[in-house]
Amino acid sequence: MPTTAARLSVFTESVIRGTTRLANQHGAINLSQGFPDFDPPEVLLSGLERAARGPNHQYAVTWGAPAFRKALAGKISRFTGLEVDADQHLVVTCGSTEAMMVAMMTACNPGDKVIVFSPFYENYAADAILSGAEPIYVPLHPPGFGFDEDDLAKAFAQKPKAIVVCNPSNPSGKVFTRDELLTILKYAEQYDTWVITDEPYEHIVYAPHEHVYFNTLPGAFERTITCNSLSKTYSITGWRLGYVHAPASVIAQARKVHDFLTVGAAAPLQDAAVGALELPMSYYEELTTIYTKKRDIFLDILRGTGLPFTEPQGAYYVMVDITELGFPDDTAASEWLIKEIGVAGVPGSSFFREPVKNLIRFHFAKREETLRAAGERLGALAVRANAGR
């Protein structure tokens, strides 16, 4: 029997999705895979009903339905101040997962190196490897998850073709400051490196932190490949609508990759989502208010357990230190939490290149009653932690 590709031995299947399957098996409250348990905005629901009876049931234009791209270009321009040509600067993808793969395959040749900050969303290293590139890891240091410029300089000295910047960051909840992004840009310019950004949490940022779009920095647009999606902002993770935003010359190449990966994103869903992209600024202000409240509720729950955690600056994840629970590693702790406590969180080791085995990532993109139900179960952690002292 022939062997499968050697590159597949370098990484596992998704730990996040595996944790969800285990949670479903044991009836645990799923705070592992980051998706809401509440409905998207009404404009999306009504748009979906209309689209179901509409004419758009066949292939859309490969790189995105014109109406969707036009609305998307308008929304991006509103928040970045950039002029976005719907026909030249965008390619619509099947979620930001495909957008990242398109970006990586557009930017990198086999044998190139790609800088990835650690901890990282698990797809990034896999995307690099599947593209034939080699990841270079730069650690982010808790509790603030900032980087050491010396570490970054050493990584850039290896002359990478690209660097991946997730901002706000999954899993750490870090929001990169303007000065940090300018430091990254300085080295990217020095070594002529692509900057691939992943920004699906752009509108989930907690005061006083602010999201800075990398491609708006002086001189950055021409070397930035922005990946994003509608999943988190509009609570439609299952719709799989993402996009790549980049200079026209880059998009012309990215469209080739996208075409032969998936042909195109779902035409009816693109039609249904146009209205959401045209929502007023008040929607995004309310979104921040909603997630700030959810964060506050969940952090209060965690304080009740007595376990240390890092307060997220953005996104909807929190890393919790489970050392005091007395488990040999985070995988054992995660399985126990699912089977015995009834709450699912992702072993933090799946996000780190370094041997970090004392963290669990929870998310709080859930209804208030779901978070409080999880809190009742997580109350047992305080007892176990105190017993271990």
- pLDDT tens digits for the chain (389 residues)? 998 888 877 777 788 888 889 889 999 999 999 899 999 999 999 999 999 998 999 999 999 999 999 999 999 999 999 999 999 999 999 999 999 999 999 999 999 999 999 999 888 888 888 899 999 999 999 888 999 999 999 999 999 999 999 999 999 999 999 999 999 999 999 999 999 999 999 999 999 999 999 999 999 999 999 999 999 999 999 999 999 999 999 999 999 999 999 999 999 999 999 999 999 999 999 999 999 999 999 999 999 999 999 999 999 999 999 999 999 999 999 999 999 999 999 999 988 888 889 999 999 999 999 999 999 999 988 756 665 55
Strand 146-147 relative to strand 224-229: parallel, antiparallel, unpaired?
A: unpaired
Sort 13 into a burial class: Cβ within 10 Å, 0-12 / 13-18 / 19+: exposed
Amino acid identity at 33: Q
- Single pTM value for the model: 0.95
Reference 348, options 29, 22, 32; nearest CA is 32
- Listed in sequence order, the DSSP H helices in the chain are 15-26, 42-52, 66-80, 95-107, 123-130, 149-156, 178-190, 248-262, 267-277, 281-305, 330-336, 368-378, 380-387
Reference 173, options 362, 305, 340, 41; nearest CA is 362
Angle between helices 248-262 and 95-107 (to 10 degrees): 120
Give the whole-angstrom CA distance, residue 161 versus residue 71.
Answer: 32
Which residues lie closer than 8 Å to 249 by C-beta, 6 or more apart?
none
Sort 252 into a burial class: Cβ within 10 Å, 0-12 / 13-18 / 19+: middle
DSSP characters for 22-64? HHHHHT-EE-SS---SS---HHHHHHHHHHHTSS--S---TT-
Angle between helices 66-80 and 267-277 (to 10 degrees): 30
DSSP characters for 158-211? T--SEEEEESS-TTT-----HHHHHHHHHHHHHTT-EEEEE-TTTT-B-TT---
Q: Which two tokens stand for residue 95?
A: 């979620």
Give the whole-angstrom CA distance, residue 364 versus residue 36.
Answer: 8
Give the whole-angstrom CA distance, residue 213 versus residue 229.
Answer: 14
